[in-house]
Amino acid sequence: MYGDRKPYPVALITLDPEEIVPWAKEQGLPEDIGELAEQDAVKEMVQDELDRANSNYAQVEQVKKFKILDHDLSIDTGELTPTLKVKRNVVYDRYGDLFESLY
């Protein structure tokens, strides 16, 4: 999630293969994460979940736009610490243009 000195928060979403692949099979969608990230049905499902999560927050705290990544963040790429915490500065450096495109 990002929103520092911006009018609203935005988010990069990753798909959990253990959850999305069985769901995709049920929906008759491809099982490849990269392809699923571009599917309208997946975007709608993520939007529904985001709307549900947003309902717990004030309007100014709600994520307004998002982009689904075609891969997960990882330790190997330097985006996560060994304890699986997001390295925000690395993620913003790597995906800054993507964050900005959401505004």
pLDDT digits (tens, 9 = 90+) for 47-67: 999 999 999 999 999 999 999
Residue 26: the pLDDT is: 92
Mean pLDDT of the chain: 93
pLDDT bucket at 4, cuts 50 / 70 / 90 = confident
Q: Read off the pLDDT of each residue in 9-27 and give the average, rounded to a whole number.
A: 93
- Listed residue (92, 96, 91, 50) closest to 74, CA to CA: 91
pLDDT tens digits, 80-95 = 999 999 999 999 999 9
Residue 73 CB contacts under 8 Å (≥ 6 apart), including other chains? 14, 79, 80, 86, 91
Residue 7 CB contacts under 8 Å (≥ 6 apart), including other chains? 103
- Listed residue (75, 71, 95, 94) closest to 84, CA to CA: 75
**What are the Cα distances from residue 95, in Å, to 71, 81, 89?**
13, 17, 10
DSSP lists the bridge partners of residue 11 as 66
pLDDT tens digits, 21-37 = 999 999 999 999 999 99
